Amino acid sequence: MAGQTTIENEISYSGVALHSGKEVKLTIKPAEANKGVYFLRTDLPTRPVVPASWQWVRESSRCTTLEKEGVKIRTPEHLLAALAGLGIDNACLELYGEEVPMADGSAQTWIQLLQKAGTVELQEKRAVRKLVKPIWVEDGERLLVALPAEKLTVSYTFTNPHPAVGCQFAQFTIEPDTFAQEIAPSRTLAFWKEVEALRAQGLGLGGNMDVAVVVGEEGYLGQLRFADEIVRHKILDLVGDLSLAGPLAAHVVGLRSGHALNARLVKEIASQSVII
């Protein structure tokens, strides 16, 4: 069993938040063993801490939200996916604002910064959450199944009636090189017809054509990074949400799930698994 890890050097990034459109700053600092990944709100006078843990996740359709004692962290999923994808167990995430910067709409910026910061192995052993039986959650045609396995593998199917999108399937075992090269660069999905409706709700105010896979009436409105970029980003989001249960060994199979269903699965995994 490998030892726990943290980053070697502090790193910072400032940018616009996806939904609020506000300028925010994030600083990632090393953390001691067994501290886990946690946020510290530096914009608030009491500097409250919100752990990146399943206990504090709140169901949300358009992003993941963490909330503890009224203090919120919004859109942490891409950053959490990068940390999990690189196998980083402990980190202090100092956030000036309520929402994590969107960067380029993927996890690629976070991967590059974390790789630059370096990783160090700590003496304490990493505890891994393992399943003792299959677990599943569903919502109509949306489904997530978690099966016992030795490593975290994600198999995902995304379907949409738009002819440019159709049915996309991808499967990856989540390891650092695979995550960094095959999953991290994939950007979030946006249908052009929904953009104005989202902004009317106060969401997506910081978005633009470069930070999303935008689908218009006739097809994609920008250049794709992968032919199946949408399903790869769905896997990215799922890896970030699953990390709220800690290091996980499971084969997770998904069909058209979103953050709300991901949150339900994470809570079921946390209550029906063992840590070894």
256 phi and psi angles, rounded to 5 deg: 60, 25
Task: Extract the tokens encoding 52.
Answer: 């990146």
Q: 19, 78, 251, 259: which one is catalytic?
A: 259
What's the CA gap between 134 and 145, in Å, rounded?
7
CA nearest to 86, candidates 146, 2, 170: 2
DSSP symbol at 152: -
State the burial class of residue 163 (Cβ atoms within 10 Å of its Cβ: 0-12, 13-18, 19+): exposed
CA nearest to 11, candidates 82, 87, 99: 82
Q: Can you list the residues of the chain whose pLDDT is less than 70?
A: 1, 19, 59, 61, 196-209
State the burial class of residue 166 (Cβ atoms within 10 Å of its Cβ: 0-12, 13-18, 19+): exposed
- Give residue 201's pLDDT: 63
DSSP code per residue over 2-54: PEEEEESS-EEEEEEBTTT--EEEEEEEE--TT--EEEEETTSTT--EEESSG
What's the CA gap between 242 and 263, in Å, rounded?
8
With a CB cutoff of 8 Å and minimum separation 6, the contacts of 130 are 148, 248, 249, 250, 273, 274, 275, 276
DSSP code per residue over 157-216: EEEESSTTTEEEEEEEE--HHHIIIIITTPPEEEEHHHHHHHHHTT-STT--TTSEEEE-
The reply to whether 19 belongs to the active site is no
What's the CA gap between 191 and 215, in Å, rounded?
5
- Give residue 211's pLDDT: 87
What's the CA gap between 240 and 100, in Å, rounded?
13
Query: For residue 46, is it left (φ>0), alpha (ψ between -120 and 50) or beta?
Result: alpha
117 phi and psi angles, rounded to 5 deg: -70, -30
Sign, CA dihedral 178-94-36-250, equals negative
Domains and CATH numbers, the chain: 3-125 (3.30.230.20), 129-275 (3.30.1700.10)
Q: Which residues pair with 16 in a beta bridge?
A: 23
- Give residue 37's pLDDT: 98
- Give residue 192's pLDDT: 80
